[in-house]
Amino acid sequence: KNKAVPLYHMKTEIDKYIQFLDDEDYLFKSNKLDENNQQKPISRVQAYRILNKAADSIGIDSIGTHSMRKTFGYHYYKKTNDIALLMQLFNHSSQSVTLRYIGINQDVINESISTTMNGLYD
């Protein structure tokens, strides 16, 4: 599955990087070429290797591209409580799948509801 991810918060840095790229160029290029002798995008495995090497260099263990995806989902949910949009973003079949995927259990749900409802009927 392919999914576009908005990177608005990085727009200035991305603009600087892409000013020298052609429209059809990939943002993260591999050294490998396709059958038309064009550069391919980096693979998920290569993205994992790059991320792991960077994490190791600053003393972080056990991180990967999937960890980042789940962490994004967790923090997005904690900030917005918009599980429907997150479910759609992750291409999950149900909200319960998404909640389980990002590690939200019933205690966290209860705490969120309690915090939201606190003082509502005072």
Residue boundaries of the structural domains of the chain: 63-122
Contacts of 78 (CB under 8 A, 6+ apart): 112
| Side-chain-facing half-sphere of 40: CA atoms under 13 Å | 10
Task: Read off the pLDDT of residues 4-60 as tens digits, 9 standing for 90 and up.
Answer: 666 678 888 888 988 988 888 888 889 889 999 988 999 988 988 888 888 888 888
pLDDT at 2 over 70: no
* CA-to-CA dists, residue 1 to 53, 89, 110, 112, 116, angstroms: 26, 11, 33, 32, 35
State how far the Cα of 47 lies from the Cα of 26, in Å rounded to an integer. 14
Q: For the range 64-72, what are the long-range contacts, defined as Cβ-Cβ under 8 Å and sequence gap of 24 or more?
A: 70/101, 70/102, 70/103
Residue 65: per-residue pLDDT: 78
Task: Read off the pLDDT of residues 77-118 as tens digits, 9 standing for 90 and up.
Answer: 999 999 999 999 999 999 999 999 998 887 777 888 888 888
Instruction: Name the 3-class secondary structure at 39.
Output: strand
